[in-house]
Amino acid sequence: MKLIAVEGYKSNYPNPIRFKEGECLGTGKKDSEFKGWIWVTTNDGNQGWAPMQYIQLRKGSDKAVAKRDYTAKELNTCVGDELILHYKLNAWGWVEKNDGSCGWVPMKTTEIA
C-alpha cells in the first residue's frame, strides 16, 4: 500500500534495540500512548519499545523470550515523503522510502496516497 507522510517524524532513538528469536529479554512498563508495546532490555543492555506480539512473557517474572527477530529502527520522514507500507502493528507501520531505507513510523503521521 502506498502512503504519503502528512506530518514529519523524527526518531527519538538513535540506537534502536534489536533482538533475535529465542533471545531472553528484560521487561518493564507497557506503553500508555501506543497500546501493545512494552519496554524491553536486550542482552547488550540496550533498551527500547517492542511489540507485545513478538515476545513471550514469563509468568511471575520481569523476563521474556523473543518469539521472532525484531528491530526497533524508526524512519525519519518529512511531509510529502512517499512511503510503501509493508505491514502495520499497534498503530505503527513498517515502511520503505523511495531510496530503499526502511523503518517504523507512527501511522497517524501518514495517509493513503
pLDDT at 30: 94
Q: Look at residue 6 in the predicted model and tell me its pLDDT.
A: 98
Comparing CA positions, the residue from 8, 18, 21 lying closest to residue 40 is 18
The β-bridge partners of 41 are 26, 47
> What is the reported pTM?
0.91
Sign of CA dihedral 105, 77, 69, 63: negative
Angle ∠(34,23,104) on CA atoms, nearest 5 = 35
Q: Which domains does the chain have, with CATH numbers?
A: 2-12+73-112 (2.30.30.40), 18-71 (2.30.30.40)
What is the mean pLDDT of each successive set of 10 residues along the chain, which is 113 residues long? 98 95 97 94 96 95 96 97 97 97 98 95
The reported pLDDT for the residue numbered 81 is: 98
